[in-house]
Amino acid sequence: MSATQRAEVASAGSPQLRAAEPVPVTAADGLLSLSPGAAQRESALRELATRAITPLVLLAAWSVGSATGWISPQTLAAPRAVWQAFVQLLGSGVLWDNLSISLQRALLGLVLGASTGLVLGLVTGLSRTGDRLLDPTLQMLRTIPFLAVAPLLVLWFGIDEQQKLLMIALAAGFPFYLNTHGGVRSTDRKLLEAARVFGASRRETIAAIILPAALPQLLVGLRQSLGISLIALIVAEQTNSPRGIGFLMMSAQQFFQVEILLVCVALYGLWGLLADVLVRTLERVLMPWKRAAARGRA
């Protein structure tokens, strides 16, 4: 091989010259070239679009069924009628007057029930004596449906706000208690032993080890408590309540106003969706390692 040929071969193998050659760009290369923030936003938009497919298909089928007469207005009002009823209720102030009362009841009842469940779960989870004294009774009480206790609450406290708050708290407290108790009990014993060896106090051990270890269970309990508190709210507001979304539903039922009933049902559904979004947000904020693990699996 001549010196000229050897120079040509060396030039062809040179990294500098190879970098100058045109390289075909694929769709995957385009995605990889995105910044981490842009890729994350694109992934979030894709997930949102995927989640919206089923509701949009159901809404389209509902609209077509109402327009063609397949769905009777007495059975299911048309989407346009439901939207008009929502706008009218919102404009007159009736919707917000009742919704604000329901939100206040649900929030206060949830805080009362969840805080009580948290304290009882910590006591029974951290103390063997507390577990022996309280857990059997609490396990027995949680099997009693809160709907069965509703007449007793009305008899004891009347139909005032106290009865409604206690019903919501009773319904929301037991799921939070069970998950708190289970989360505390499932803490890794090796971590507790390490904290004891390093001289951590009882309070430091609870704050630094037990509560973080129980956090996933606590969030599961919060999600369950949010859902069941909504059911308790509906029951509480439909028993001699002068205000609230449940009262609005009962009034619409008496006058056969299907569109207002559907507005209330849609509000309950939206309420549940927002509660789920709230818990997911708390998971991302309080447990960033879980999000990192999910990205690693992807």
pLDDT for the residue 109: 93
Residue 168 lies in a domain: yes
20 falls in which pLDDT band (50, 70, 90)?
very low
27 falls in which pLDDT band (50, 70, 90)?
very low
In the predicted model, is pLDDT for residue 189 greater than 70? yes
Residue 28 lies in a domain: no
Counting the structural domains of the chain, the total is 1
| Selection from 269, 271, 267, 263 nearest residue 88 by Cα | 263
Kindly report, residue by residue over 41-94, the tens digit of the pLDDT: 777 677 777 877 888 888 888 888 888 888 888 788 888 989 999 999 999 999
Q: Give the torsion sign (CA, 274, 267, 107, 175).
A: negative
Q: How far apart are CA 119 and CA 113, in angstroms?
A: 10
Structural domain including 193 reads 97-297
Most confident of 62-71, 115-124, 151-160, 210-219: 115-124
36 falls in which pLDDT band (50, 70, 90)?
low
Cβ contacts of 169 within 8 Å, gap of 6 or more: 109, 110, 112, 113, 116
Kindly report, residue by residue over 243-256, the tens digit of the pLDDT: 889 889 888 888 88
Residue 86 lies in a domain: no
Q: For tokens 């037990």, what's the residue?
A: 210
Residue 198 lies in a domain: yes
Per-chain mean pLDDT for the chain: 81
Residue 238 lies in a domain: yes
Q: Beta-carbon neighbour count of residue 260 at 10 Å?
A: 24
- Which residue spans within 29-161 are E strands per DSSP? none
Report how far Cα 271 is from the mean position of its chain's Cα atoms: 10
Cβ contacts of 241 within 8 Å, gap of 6 or more: 159, 164, 247
In the predicted model, is pLDDT for residue 257 greater than 50? yes
Residue 237 lies in a domain: yes
In the predicted model, is pLDDT for residue 98 greater than 50? yes
What average pLDDT does the segment 211-225 reach? 90
Whether the CB-CB separation of 222 and 114 falls below 8 Å is answered with yes
Residue 9 lies in a domain: no
Q: How far apart are CA 139 and CA 94, in angstroms?
A: 41
CATH of residue 288's domain is 1.10.3720.10
Kindly report, residue by residue over 4-18, the tens digit of the pLDDT: 444 444 444 444 434
DSSP assignment of 191-211, as one string?
HHHHHHHTT--HHHHIIIIIH
Residue 116 lies in a domain: yes
40 falls in which pLDDT band (50, 70, 90)?
low
